[in-house]
Structure formats: C-alpha cells, structure tokens
C-alpha cells in the first residue's frame, strides 16, 4: 500500500473500532490524543476510568499484532499517564489497555488488557 492509502485505511479501521466501543456503551474521550510521550489512537470511557486503545490494521491478525512493539507499549503507557494526570484521580484512575486488530477483510479482534500498567 502507498503511504496515503495506508494512512486512510488506518483511519477507517480506527473509526470502525470506535463504533464498536460506542455500541458497547462506552463514550469516546479522545481520538488520536497526543501528549509529549506519544499518541493514543482512541481513549474510551469506562465508568470512572478509561480504556486506551491501540488500533493495528494489516493483511491478517497475526501481522497486525506483530506491529505492537515493546517501545510502542511504553510510549502508550507514558501518554496514558499524561492523559490521566489531568483528571481528578490522576494515576489512581482505573485504566485498561486494549489492542484492536483489523484484518484486510475488515474483521476485528479486540485484545482486552493486552498490556498492563
């Protein structure tokens, strides 16, 4: 895929995943939230906490999952810490980190609690 095609496919995947979370009753607190430590694709609300969602699109689920590196996990954790620091409970805010995989057919798999903080 060209760079622009990949970018647009990624945006479409994020919108699909966002709709999945909304259909399950979650609100969306932020899209493509960027802090000094990194970016989070989607931040969903979960009661008084947040779900930080990394969306990966690839030809198949295995390739999508392989694209989540240890370094990326650390950046997401850092960005999430920044995000909750602006909320009343700070780092005591309940948090969950999900990875949403999307294959070339548009099928989706959500890995809840894919990594812990």
Predicted pLDDT at 4: 80
Q: Which two tokens stand for residue 46?
A: 């979960």
Specify the pLDDT at position 11: 87
pLDDT of the chain, 117 residues: tens digit per residue: 567 878 888 888 999 999 999 999 999 999 999 999 999 999 999 999 999 999 999 999 999 999 999 999 999 999 999 999 999 999 999 999 999 999 999 999 999 999 864
| Residue partners of 44: CB distance under 8 A and separation at least 6 | 18, 21, 26, 27, 28, 29, 50, 51, 53
Q: Which residues contact 57 (CB under 8 A, 6 or more apart)?
A: 9, 10, 13, 64, 101, 102, 103
Strands of the sheet containing 95-102, edge to edge, are 28-35, 38-46, 49-57, 95-102, 108-111
CATH of 3-111, one of 3.40.50.880, 3.40.1350.10, 3.40.190.10, 3.90.1310.10: 3.40.1350.10
Model pTM score: 0.92
Domain boundary assignment for the chain: 3-111
Q: What is the helix (H) or strand (E) element at residue 23, kind and residue range?
A: helix 3-23
Report the pLDDT value the prediction gives residue 1, as an integer from 0 to 100.
Answer: 54
Q: Tokens 């699109």 identify what position?
A: 57
């Amino acid at each position: 895929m060209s760079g622009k095609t990949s970018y647009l496919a990624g945006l479409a995947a994020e919108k699909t995943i966002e709709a999945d979370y909304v259909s399950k009753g979650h609100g969306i607190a932020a899209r493509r939230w960027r802090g000094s430590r990194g970016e989070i694709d989607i931040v969903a609300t979960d009661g008084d906490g947040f779900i930080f969602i990394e969306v990966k699109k690839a030809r198949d689920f295995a390739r999508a999952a392989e694209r989540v590196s240890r370094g990326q996990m650390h950046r997401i954790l850092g960005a999430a810490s920044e995000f909750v620091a602006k909320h009343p409970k700070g780092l005591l805010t309940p948090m969950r980190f999900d990875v949403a995989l999307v294959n070339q057919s548009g099928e989706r798999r959500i890995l809840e609690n894919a990594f812990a903080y």
